[in-house]
């Protein structure tokens, strides 16, 4: 099932609930209260975006993990079959797909060697093209596209964190007596320590790919974290996905990472609930989702 169908197929959606103690903020400065409520709505929207992004990421990740081993075996076997038929000009009557293969093989036999490319190399090239077209017609993505949905969902999650943090900073800078908000921002930063560096690299990928950050040279630091090992510090990571960890080389040359997972989503929910609880409310309690 495509990940985009998750909301139509009765699949369980992982949602971490929120509770609003009321509907309206209680504060003598109504203009400030309205602005604070707007920031809270922005944070709730970012949390909703993060929820959808993580759910889609989880579905896609699980589907890829279960399919990869079987897919590798099928690719190897089918490519070998196609190449063998190209070389032998065979076309079993029960496999009509090989009609085109036989035609191509005959055409290749009529070609002379040219530019250092012989018929064997051309057969291998056409075998790959034929196999790839078969897989696309069967509804499979090209290899180059397979990991792209995961990276899209990861970037969406990181963008949601960015919007969330920006709104929280606005509240902290003009807290009007809500002193707990500064501590909550520290809690957010503790939960997502690599987030800002990763987001900055995504925002300035044209610089980072050239090992630059604000026109200064970026010197990648040595890495040894199990997934990546580079004692020389010469590895530049741009949008690396290792399991559920999205990694980028930051402006400081360090390897920043954001975990795109349900545990990260739960931590974000805890931060948002703490922000909500930091305010005085009046009116009936309201659940999220409503």
pLDDT tens-digit series, residues 129-181 = 777 787 788 887 777 888 899 999 999 999 999 999 999 999 999 877 678 99
Q: Which two tokens stand for residue 283?
A: 């009116």
Peptide bond into 289 cis (omega under 30): yes
Distance CA 220, CA 217 (A): 10
SS3 assignment, position 254: coil
- Report the pLDDT value the prediction gives residue 40, as an integer from 0 to 100: 97
CA angle 159, 165, 169 (to 5 degrees): 150
Judge contact between 180 and 278, C-beta under 8 A.
Answer: yes
Instruction: Kindly report the average pLDDT of the chain as a whole number.
Output: 83
Residue 98: is its pLDDT beyond 50? Answer: yes
pTM for the model? 0.80
Instruction: Tell me if 221 sits within 8 A of 133, measured CB to CB.
Output: no
Cα(99)–Cα(148) distance, rounded to whole angstroms?
33
Q: Name which of 32-36, 136-140, 241-245 the model is least confident about.
A: 136-140
* pLDDT score for 147: 86
Per-residue CA distances from 95 to 82, 88, 106, 129 (Å): 11, 15, 18, 18
Average pLDDT over residues 233-261: 92
Give which of 128, 168, 157 is closest to 41, Cα–Cα. 168
| pLDDT (0 to 100) of residue 105 | 59
Residues whose CB falls within 8 Å of the CB of residue 265, separated by 6 or more in sequence, listed in order: 14, 16, 50, 51, 54
Closest CA to 38 of 183, 164, 167: 167
Asked if residue 185 has pLDDT above 90, the reply is yes
């Amino acid at each position: 099932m495509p990940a985009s169908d998750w909301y139509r197929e009765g699949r369980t959606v992982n949602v971490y609930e929120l509770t609003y103690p009321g509907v309206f903020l209680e504060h003598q400065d109504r203009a400030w209260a309205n602005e604070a409520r707007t920031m809270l709505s922005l944070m709730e929207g970012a949390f909703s975006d993060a929820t959808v992004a993580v759910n889609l990421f989880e579905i896609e990740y699980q589907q890829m993990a279960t399919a990869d081993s079987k897919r590798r075996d099928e690719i190897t076997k089918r490519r070998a079959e196609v190449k063998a038929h190209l070389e032998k000009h065979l076309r079993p009557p029960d496999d009509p797909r090989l009609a085109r293969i036989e035609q191509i093989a005959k055409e290749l036999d009529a070609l002379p060697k040219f530019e250092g490319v012989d018929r064997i190399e051309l057969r291998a090239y056409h075998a790959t093209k034929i196999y790839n077209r078969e897989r696309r017609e069967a509804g499979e993505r090209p290899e180059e596209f397979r990991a792209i949905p995961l990276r899209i969902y990861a970037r969406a999650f990181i963008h949601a964190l960015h919007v969330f943090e920006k709104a929280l900073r606005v509240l902290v800078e003009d807290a009007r007596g809500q002193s707990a908000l500064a501590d909550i921002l520290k809690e957010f930063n503790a939960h997502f320590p690599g987030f800002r560096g990763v987001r900055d690299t995504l925002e300035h990928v044209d610089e980072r790919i050239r090992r630059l950050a604000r026109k200064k040279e970026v010197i990648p630091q040595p890495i040894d974290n199990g997934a990546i090992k580079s004692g020389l510090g010469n590895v530049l990571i741009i949008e690396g996905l290792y399991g559920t960890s999205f990694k980028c080389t930051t402006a400081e040359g360090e390897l920043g990472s954001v975990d795109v997972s349900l545990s990260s989503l739960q931590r974000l929910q805890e931060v948002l609930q703490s922000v909500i609880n930091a305010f005085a409310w009046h009116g009936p309690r309201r659940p999220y989702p409503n």
